[in-house]
Structure 1
Amino acid sequence: MHPEIEDLSKTIQEAADLLLSVGELHWGNWLAKNAALISASDFRGVEHVLTAFGGMGSINDLVIHPMNGHSVNEKQISMVNEKLEALLSSVAIKSKKLYNEEVDALRGT
């Protein structure tokens, strides 16, 4: 497997694991599914993970907090959200790069 694809899959899975650990099942399972697709060299995973970003109700709007039903204490809120933000930023950058490379390859440029 191409190292960038493997790296993306691992980063997505890390974000999924973080979300699942605090009880965020919707986005945690959603990311885990895409990590598995990408790990299996299925490009649909890259395309699908990009749809999580932007717009109302996107993963960008997610805030890990007990008021949102997440299993974190007050001392963990800032750290968990900062880690999530860093992981999601990395996922977005890596996914866009791979997506653009694939589109360029299909165009023959």
Structure 2
Amino acid sequence: MNEAIELLQSVKEKHWSTWLAHDAALVEKRDLRGIEHLLSAFGGMGSLNDLVIHPINGHEVQDFAIDKANRKLQKILGEIWSLAKQLYNDELQAK
């Protein structure tokens, strides 16, 4: 998650970088609420999946770097979602 947080902070995306930082702190404490809250970011309109890094959205990114930043973000988010889903399922099975 730290890589996503750093990327989002670098383009001045405050909402989602704060969301992920909060969840990361909970996950580090092994608090399942962090995983649940993280997974909730991926669904519905206006979700983390809908985020596009672009100056039109208020992000500080040069035109030549837009595509690369968004590809990197989508790769990282896919990895985060997969790992979070696995951790969540493992926790449910352990109960």
TM-score after normalising by structure 2: 0.97
Partner of 2:83: 94
CA distance in 2, matches of 1:31, 1:19: 10
Whichever residue aligns with residue 99 of structure 1, its letter is Y
Q: Out of 76-85 and 38-47, give the one that drifted further.
A: 38-47
Residue 35 in structure 1 maps to residue 27 in structure 2: no
CA RMSD of aligned residues (A): 0.7
Partner of 2:61: 72
Point out where structure 1 has 5 or more consecutive residues left out of the alignment: 1-11
Q: Out of 34-43 and 57-66, give the one that drifted further.
A: 34-43
Looking at CA atoms only, which structure, 1 or 2, has the larger radius of gyration?
A: 1
Residue 59 in structure 1 maps to residue 48 in structure 2: yes
Identity %: 53
CA distance in 2, matches of 1:57, 1:18: 19
Point out where structure 2 has 5 or more consecutive residues left out of the alignment: none
TM-score after normalising by structure 1: 0.85
Partner of 1:50: 39
Runs of 4+ deviating beyond 3 Å: none
Partner of 1:13: 2
CA distance in 1, matches of 2:38, 2:2: 12
Whichever residue aligns with residue 90 of structure 1, its letter is E
1:77-97 Cα distance to aligned partner (Å, 9 max, x none): 001000000010001000000
Equivalent pairs, count: 95
CA distance in 1, matches of 2:93, 2:66: 40
Whichever residue aligns with residue 60 of structure 2, its letter is S
